[in-house]
Amino acid sequence: MDIKFINRATKELVTERPPGEDILRFLYGNPVGEALVLPIAKQKFISDWYGKKMDSPSSVSRIEPFIRSLNIDMSESEKQINEFTSFNDFFYRKLKSGTRKIEAGLVSPGDGKILVFKKVSEVKSFFVKGEKFTLGEFLEDEKLAEEYQDAAMVILRLAPNDYHRYHFPYQGIPSACHEIGKDYYSVSPISLEKKFTQVFTKNKREICRLKTAGKGDILIIPVGATMVGSLNSTFTPESPIEKGEEMGYFAFGGSTIVLLFDANSFELDSDLVENTQNHLETAVRMGEKIAIDKI
Query: Would you name the residues annotated as active-site residues?
Result: 111, 167, 255
Q: How far apart are CA 93 and CA 222, in angstroms?
A: 18
Q: How far apart are CA 2 and CA 253, in angstroms?
A: 20
Strand 281-284 and strand 3-7: pairing? parallel
Whether 22 and 258 have beta carbons less than 8 Å apart is answered as no
Q: How far apart are CA 72 and CA 76, in angstroms?
A: 9
**In 34-161, at which residue ranges do the beta strands (DSSP E only) sit?**
106-107, 112-117, 152-158
Whether 184 and 252 have beta carbons less than 8 Å apart is answered as no
Q: How far apart are CA 277 and CA 193, in angstroms?
A: 16
Query: Cβ of 69: how many Cβ atoms within 10 Å?
Result: 11
**What's the Cα-to-Cα distance from 179 to each of 32, 43, 82, rounded to whole Å?**
32, 17, 35
As a whole number of angstroms, the longest Cα–Cα distance in the chain is 52
**DSSP string of 109-133, one letter each residue:** SSSEEEEEESSTTHHIIIIITTSPP
